[in-house]
Amino acid sequence: MSSLPKLNFTAVIDILVVAVLIYQLLMIVRGTRAGHILIGILTMVLIYVLSVWAGLEALRSLLSYIVPYTAIAVIILFQSEIRRTLARIGRKRWFGRGFRRPESVDEILLALSRLSQEKVGALIVLERDIGLRTFVESGVRLDAEISADLLLSIFRPGAALHDGAVIVQKDRISSAACFLPLTTNPAVPANLGTRHRAAIGITEESDCLSLVVSEETGDLSVAAFGEIQQRLSLREVDERINAHFGVGKPGAQPAARTAPASTEENPNAVEKAG
């Protein structure tokens, strides 16, 4: 009987790397449909091992026809998770940041404050490092300077561009009425509507930041990296924008002076669900 290999520094590194990869895989599929699919695949593998051990030839033969196609099935079933993982790896900046905070955030905050007061639904996506060209092309191209008045006009109820999302690239409104992918994460609360699910869905595909105004309550929400935070004040939204784009402590005083009637001064809007 061969002895176990000696545990040296290289073996320890090897074990740690494999452990990290397995942990990251579990974190990716946790709370998604892929988690149940993975459990099903592992169950089939376990049944196959038991059939070999117990000498159940008929069952082993049946499963032996299925096993060769498992790799293809995994790629098909996990295609969205694989795509998301590769995007996460590709968006990392190993040698400094390549993104910056849009300079016209104050105009966006002013528009959000007005939209929140009037309970007008809105979805604004701020591009960071991963390009959103595919989604920009799904809407109406504007390539306009960011201004609160323009955003209010776009999301005005009954306007031609009201439905869909506004995508901001750098300091320009690139497109409006854009179609975004909806999240399929079962962990997302069932009471969230299409606008909020689209805000989460686009952040699962890229590293952008989504700003949402609820049409029912006027609550402000921010989505990033597949997660959403609801019932935020205007100052909290500004803080999350700064944190997402790697800026230090925000100084949101200009936006606060320009739009004093923010959600901070509207406790009724904050108390309700988004």
213-250 pLDDT per residue, tens: 999 999 999 999 888 999 999 999 999 999 888 765 43
114 & 168 share domain: yes
Whether the predicted pLDDT of 68 surpasses 70: yes
Q: What would the mean pLDDT of 262-273 be, rounded to a whole number? A: 35
Q: What distance in Å separates the CA atoms of residue 180 and residue 146, rounded to the nearest whole number?
A: 21
Write the DSSP string, 208-221.
-EEEEE-TTT--EE
Q: Does the structure show a pLDDT above 60 at 78?
A: yes
Mean pLDDT, the chain, rounded, equals: 79
Q: Please give the residue range of the domain that contains residue 206.
A: 105-271
In angstroms, the CA 48 to CA 55 distance is 10
C-alpha 53: how far from chain center? 44
Domain-located, residue 4? no
DSSP secondary structure of 143-208: EEE--HHHHHHHTSTT-TT-SSEEEEETTEEEEEEE--PPP--TTS-TT--HHHHHHHHHHHHSS-
Helix (H, G, I), strand (E, B) or coil at 222: strand
Q: Are 173 and 166 in contact (CB under 8 A)?
A: yes
Residue owning tokens 């005083």: 253
DSSP for 105-138, please give it: HHHHHHHHHHHHHHT--EEEEE--SS--HHHHTT
Q: Which residues pair with 210 in a beta bridge?
A: 125, 223
Q: What is the pTM for the complete model shown?
A: 0.64
219 inside domain: yes
Note whether 135 and 203 are same-domain residues: yes
Say whether both 165 and 38 belong to one domain.
no
Which residues, 6 or more positions from 144, have their beta carbon under 8 angstroms from its beta carbon? 150, 172, 173
Count up the domains in the chain and report the number.
2
Confidence of residue 34 (pLDDT cuts 50, 70, 90): low
Does residue 97 fall inside a structural domain? Answer: no
d(CA 174, CA 212): 18
Q: CATH code at 228? A: 3.40.1700.10
